[in-house]
Structure 1
Amino acid sequence: MEAAPAARTFSPSSSSAGARPRHTLAYPAPQRARALAAPPPSRAVASSRAPLVVSSPPPASPGPPAAAHAKVDRSGRFCSPRAARELALMISYAACLEGADVVRLFDRRISARREPGYVFDKACLLSYNHMSFGGGPLEVGTEEEAEKLTSQNEKDSANEAEVLSAPPKLVYNNFVLRLSRELLVAVASGWDKHVDIIDKIIPQTWKDEPVARILELCILHIAMAEMTSKGTPHKVVINEAVDLAKRFCDGGAPRVINGCLRTFVKDHVDITGTNQAAEPKA
């Protein structure tokens, strides 16, 4: 399955001033989505993240990352709606790059046969974190701290690569697979209508670089499709879309997606959650 190893976030906390040299670990967010369209390998691969950069920023100290385990059912597979949205995003992004139909690509990935001898360690699922968001440069106090965090980051990224490159049926339960496919069916059926709406509500900078914003546009399509076809509360859909942007996109994408979806709800969705009829405004 196509996916990118996700960058880890270590939130800085306040600390006392000191004369110690400090170092920055830069986590480039675009790396998170770079491998989304890659075909699933026969075995898990190590992280493809770019090397962490060390520089000399102002003083600050990192706080420990919040522990958050993915939701798994008794079969040991992901069972949360968030996992379904994440899977739908991966398929949508890959379909855009390949010029393929999203539903057909989903079905092809689901029915793909495993390579002989492939073994997936389900224990990786317990360490996978759907809430691992990218952030700005991280400052640490010593080379030892930098090496420790770099090592942990590489382990976490390798674990996520193992999970996200595994055959979907080994990672997601039937509920997640069904919901993800339903979202993709809705994306396909509403694509043309939503393209016109998206073109009106996204900033000009995104229009000027559409190829660089495929991932962000896919998030918008999935969110709009869920609002108009699944009846999910608008606030839930917007929050989930923003979290996907935080996880896989960079810069101000989460803020822009939040604003675009709020505009979509205000101007194009009625209280029942369906698209309003396209009527010219006075």
Structure 2
Amino acid sequence: MEANSVVLSSCYSTSYPSYSAASPLSNFSTLAIPSSYSSLQSAKPHLIFNHYHFPKSPRFFLTCSGGPTPNRTPLLRPPSALVFHDDQLIENSASSLAPSSSSSATDILPKIDKSGRFCSPRAARELALLILYASCLEGSDPVRLLEKRINARREPGYGFVKELLMEYNHMSFGGPPVTVTTVEEADELLLQDQKESEIEAEVLSAPPKLVYSKLILRFTRKLLVAVVEKWDNHVLVIDKVAPCNWKNEPAGRILELSILHLAMSEISVLGTRHQIVINEAVDLAKRFCDGAAPRIINGCLRTFVNDLKGTSKLEASS
């Protein structure tokens, strides 16, 4: 490499190089972090607490391998009380609109409906991840947190620029390191990344009713209800399939574990085809996580699906 070359590393997401304060996830969950966590530390800057405080509610405690599972108390109404009447509509939308990892960039740009709001299942999965992440930080019920965000009053004078939705890209993750030959080119790339981060922060922190269609908000709620319904079971599954370092440091892997919970719940409860769900989960990991997370999540989910098929065959034969 020439001496005057400048290398910019874009490991999976150039928009979030080190989970800085400009990260959409950090902005989204700012209000959800209790003040008691402010003096604690974590392996990632945006997780300002350690696993001894994660989280306050036993139901949202991620067990470590070999450790006892705490007694859990139900925090929600029975899932049967949260049934929707447009299941088929949402399922069809999820199957037909969810893009695969092989889609081109133009195919997976955000889909906007006639009202100027996101209407793709990918937007619902992303919103569900943000809500689940924030609920884990504060130890709250994700379904109620979603409803709280949806029904929150807007600040006087608040205005949201809907044109930002057209510039928002759900697939804003990078690839190999980018090499430039001048400082000017490096500065231009950094400015572009900063602009994308500002757009993402503005969109993801806006009131959900201004950003997402009613169909997508209902689908998001269905995803979170499914997560709550299967949480305890999937904690045990994750304890078997996840790598030891994830289980030993759950506070540093909330994003990755949340993606696993969302994907497993969508497959087992909502019945979405596992090929679609795994592709979507891997893309979420590429977008919001770092390192080998996408590959590990892919492997964990494929193991989960194979075990699920084996269990179904065993039940059918008996």
Normalising by structure 2, we get a TM-score of 0.69
2:30 to 14, 30, 38: 38
Instruction: State the alpha-carbon separation in 2 of the partners of residues 275 and 138 from structure 1.
Output: 48
Superposition CA RMSD, Å: 2.4
Per the alignment, residue 244 of structure 1 pairs with 284
* Structure 1 partner of 2:243: 203
Please, which of 157, 180, 185 is the counterpart of residue 117 of structure 1?
A: 157
**Which residue of the other structure, out of 189, 193, 218, is the alignment partner of 1:178?**
218
Moved more, 251-260 or 128-137: 128-137
- The separation in 2 between residues aligned to 1:276 and 1:183, in whole angstroms, is 27
Aligned residue among 194, 216, 223 for 2:256: 216
Shift in Å, 1:231? 1.3
Deviation at 1:84, TM superposition (A): 0.3
Matched residue count: 235
TM-score, normalization by structure 1: 0.78
Letter in 1 for 2:29: A
Q: In the alignment, is the contact (CA less than 8 A) between 2:28 and 2:204 conserved in 1?
A: no
Query: Does residue 193 of the first structure (1) align with residue 176 of the second (2)?
Result: no
- 1:156 deviates by 1.4
Greater helix share, structure number? 2
Kept after mapping to 1: 8 A contact 2:264/2:301? yes
SS of the counterpart of 1:139? strand
Please state if 1:69 is matched with 2:109. yes
2:274 counterpart of 1:234: yes
Between 186-195 and 144-153, the greater mean CA deviation after superposition: 144-153
Deviations 1:62-102 (A, max 9, x none): xxx95563111111100000000000000000001100011
| SS of match in other structure, 1:130 | coil
Cα distance in 1 for residues equivalent to 2:27 and 2:156: 23
- CA distance in 2 between counterparts of 1:144 and 1:37 reads 34
- Percent of aligned positions that are identical: 58
Aligned position for 1:161: 201
**Counterpart secondary structure, 2:179:** strand
Q: Contact between 1:29 and 1:134, CA under 8 Å: does it hold in 2?
A: no
- Residue 276 of structure 1 and its aligned partner are, at CA, apart by 7.9
- Matched residue SS, 1:250: coil
- Greater relative CO (CA pairs within 8 A, separation 6+): 2
Which of structure 1's runs of 4+ aligned residues deviate more than 6 A? Answer: 274-277
Task: Provide, for residues 229-271 of structure 1, a one-character-per-residue CA deviation record: whole Å limited to 9, x for no partner.
Answer: 1111110000000000000000000000000000000012469
The one-character-per-residue Cα deviations of 1:4-54 (angstroms, maximum 9, x if unpaired) are: xxxxxxxxxxxxxx85611022342544444442239xxxxxxxxx9xxxx
Structure 2 alignment gaps of length 5 or more: 33-44, 46-103
What is the rounded CA distance, in whole Å, between the counterparts of 2:27 and 2:112 in structure 1? Answer: 24
Helix, strand or coil: the match of 1:74? coil
For 1:111 and 1:146, locate their aligned partners in 2 and report how far apart those are by CA, in whole Å: 42
Matched to 1:38, the amino acid is T
